[in-house]
Amino acid sequence: MGTVGALNMPHNELKIMEVCGTHSEVISKYAIRQLYTGEIKLISGPGCPVCVIPAEDIDLIIEYARCGYIIATFGDLIRILGTVSSLPVERASGKQVKIVYSPLEALSLAKKNPQNQVIFVGVGFETTAPLVALTIMKAKDEGIKNFGVLSLHRTMPKILAKLFETGVKLDGLILPGHVCTITGSKPFEFLARDFGITGVISGFTPEDIIESIEIIRQNLHRPSIKIQYKRAVSPYGNKVAQSVLKSVFEPCDIAWRGFGLVKDSGLAIKREWSFFDARKRWPIKPPHKQRIGETCRCGDIMKGMLTPPECPMFKISCSPEKPIGPCMVSSEGVCSIYYKYGG
């Protein structure tokens, strides 16, 4: 067994981390954490796709908006603060910031505004990236020349490796069911091999999560990656989606909130599709500015070092109505979930 899994003996409180915003919500909504008081500590990790985006990425989006580009992205992302401004503030001052529900809607926006350049901001993990790849292919097929993608996509296995390299002590992982429908279980087998951790790919009902916790308990001394969510996940995943993703994207280094730069954990648009890569086609660099007096602990919360109530801003100056950190913005953010349901 690897050093991480071996650190906790059975009579100690076990530490299990989930890395999916939907799992976080189900655990709090149905008080699953309270079922294991004194036995198991359930911790939330970097599973919210919006929460892991650092402020400098928001600054870049703001700079594109200020330069006259139409920004199209999902609603949760819009509310995240940059270092000196936010997209709602920019929109109120006349910048074109649009909420869309899919990249295809952003492509339609480009068709309707041929005189403007439209940038779709792609966020999310392996689950959302294939549809963005298909949209880029569609833009090329249809000859849409005023459309580009700013890829902020990230991948799950590399950040989990980084998590353990930082020294976090865990006994098990509840792995993300949605991501694994695309990737399969194989890309996560290194967790057992290299870190002595049992991970269980879980579905999204309370029963699924409770069963996954029990599978982890039964395999504490037999590190392995198990599939509880067998009705949707296979060892090798969705080969069609993987093929589409690999046709358009390639691994790149990218910064994560709370973790810094993580090697090969992002998805960059390949050279052959660079006409639709906003970074390469329309390169700009935002001014680097630091927000003064920031005490948000979102980064530490996503590393499992703190729970939301341990952040000095939680429920005091930071709430879903006036969020300061991204973990309070998204419905998948752990601070937002704690605010709504409690621990």
Q: How far apart are the C-alpha atoms of 123 and 126, rounded to whole Å?
A: 10
Looking at CATH, the fold of the domain delimited by 55-155+238-281 is given as Rossmann fold (3.40.50)
Separation between Cα atoms, residue 334 and residue 314, nearest integer Å = 11
What average pLDDT does range 95-116 have in this prediction? 97
Element (H or E) spanning 136, and its range? helix 129-141
Predicted local confidence at residue 285, as pLDDT: 81
Q: What is the per-residue pLDDT for 5?
A: 39
pLDDT band at 84 (very low <50, low <70, confident <90, very high): confident
CA distance 4 to 168: 8
- What does pTM read for this prediction? 0.92
Q: Phi then psi for 103, rounded to 5 degrees?
A: -65, -30
- Asked if 19 and 174 touch (Cβ cutoff 8 Å), the reply is yes
> Is a pLDDT exceeding 90 seen at residue 34?
yes
Q: Where are the domains of the chain?
A: 55-155+238-281
CB of 188 within 8 A of CB of 164? no
Q: Does the structure show a pLDDT above 50 at 275?
A: yes
Q: How many Å separate Cα 14 from the centre of its chain?
A: 25
pLDDT at 291: 55
* 4-18, 108-122, 279-293: least confident range: 4-18
Give yes or no for a contact between 60 and 84, defined as CB atoms under 8 angstroms apart: no
Q: What is the mean pLDDT of residues 2-10?
A: 39
pLDDT single digits (tens) 281-338 = 999 987 666 554 467 899 999 999 999 999 999 999 999 999 999 999 988 999 999 9
Give the Cβ contact number of residue 90 at 10 Å: 21
What token pair was written down for 263? 């090697």
State residue 293's pLDDT score: 47
pLDDT of residue 10: 44
Task: Name the band, by pLDDT with cuts 50, 70 and 90, for residue 343.
Answer: confident
Mean pLDDT across the stretch 189-210? 97
Q: What are phi and psi of 247, to 5 degrees?
A: -70, -30
pLDDT band at 115 (very low <50, low <70, confident <90, very high): very high
Closest CA to 182 of 136, 141, 138, 242: 242
* Strand-by-strand arrangement of the 40-44 sheet: 40-44, 14-18, 172-175, 198-201, 225-227
Residue 221 reports pLDDT greater than 50: yes
